[in-house]
Amino acid sequence: MTQFFNAAEGGHISREDWVRVAHKHGVACFNDAAADVPPIANLWNYTAMGFDLVAFSGGKGIRGPQCTGLLLGKKDLIDGAVLNNSPYSNTVGRGMKVGKEEIIGFVAAVDWFREQDDAAMEAEFRKRAGVIAERVKTVPSVQARVFIPPVANHVPHLLITYDTNRVKLTATEVMQKMREGTPRIELNPSTGGGPASAGLPGGNNVIVVGVWMLQPGEDQIVATRLQEVLAGAAK
Ligand SMILES: *Cc1c(COP(=O)(O)O)cnc(C)c1O
């Protein structure tokens, strides 16, 4: 089986060419699309394109239980995958087992996700980013803008930058302080990183806030705490 995934998007082989060449040689095609929703339509775009198997993370854009995922595609291949799940306990799949409670939770998440609307989700994420941006911009030198990673996790994130001469903390230190507060808040792992993954810019004065996993109202909590941490180091 061949494996495609979205990091190849900047490359020279399109998904369509990938499928065509593999099938010409009689090889099945798997697309690891873990981080490829939204848009919601990607749930069926890739199988329609001809991929034999397509996997989505349950805990990313679909926002279901973290240990779940969705495997779509040809019945014979799905049947093969099922042989690694209960009741076939003594298989390589045991270490990755998913409980029945989580499966039910994930089915509910898929139902919920299919009723959502791409534009409405984007508007909501922009609104949350705006709430946080307004608060942190009160701190000297802090700038904030919405950033949509071009490939994976293709939704609005908040990108915050500042002058480290004016705010005497590195982004990594900000991340640590956010973890130590109550409640604990985890910033996007691209925060303070090198030229970061997933198309997010890096740098020791760069903070990335993922707003899409927040519950309603939590944007206010993040805004208050982030403003407090930045303002506390400002001069
Ligand atoms: C996130 C991601 C994974 C892991 O998915 P999980 O099911 O959330 O652990 C695998 N492959 C790619 C390309 C991803 O982006």
pLDDT at 200: 66
Confidence of residue 193 (pLDDT cuts 50, 70, 90): confident
Query: What architecture (CATH level 2) is domain 2-114?
Result: 3-Layer(aba) Sandwich (3.40)
Q: What would the pLDDT profile of 216-232 be if each residue is shown by its tens digit?
A: 999 999 999 999 999 99
* Closest residue by Cα to residue 27 from 10, 8, 4: 4
In total, the chain counts a number of residues equal to: 235
pLDDT at 152: 84
Q: What would the pLDDT profile of 112-149 be if each residue is shown by its tens digit?
A: 999 999 999 999 999 999 999 999 999 999 999 999 98
Q: What would the pLDDT profile of 97-117 be if each residue is shown by its tens digit?
A: 888 999 999 999 999 999 999
Confidence of residue 11 (pLDDT cuts 50, 70, 90): confident
Whether 37 lines ligand 1, by a CB cut-off of 6 Å, is no
Ligand 1 center to 96 CA (angstroms): 14
Look at residue 172 and tell me whether its pLDDT is greater than 70: yes
Nearest CA to ligand 1 atom 9: 57
Nearest atom in ligand 1 to 57's CA: 7
Whether 128 lines ligand 1, by a CB cut-off of 6 Å, is no
The class level of CATH for 118-232 reads alpha beta
Whether 5 lines ligand 1, by a CB cut-off of 6 Å, is yes
Whether 34 lines ligand 1, by a CB cut-off of 6 Å, is yes
pLDDT at 194: 66
Q: What would the pLDDT profile of 40-57 be if each residue is shown by its tens digit?
A: 999 999 999 999 999 999
Ligand 1 center to 57 CA (angstroms): 6
Nearest atom in ligand 1 to 69's CA: 7
Whether 154 lines ligand 1, by a CB cut-off of 6 Å, is no
Look at residue 7 and tell me whether its pLDDT is greater than 80: no
Query: Which residue ranges make up each domain of the chain?
Result: 2-114, 118-232
Distance between CA atoms of 97 and 99, rounded to whole angstroms?
A: 7
Of the listed ranges 76-90, 171-185, 186-200, the one predicted with least confidence = 186-200
Query: What's the CA angle centered on 158, arms 153 and 161, to 5 degrees?
Result: 130
Whether 228 lines ligand 1, by a CB cut-off of 6 Å, is no
Confidence of residue 80 (pLDDT cuts 50, 70, 90): very high
| pTM (two decimals) | 0.90
Q: Which conformational region is residue 50 in: left (phi greater than 0), alpha (psi within -120 to 50 degrees), or beta?
A: left
Q: What is the mean pLDDT of the chain?
A: 93
Ligand 1 center to 22 CA (angstroms): 23
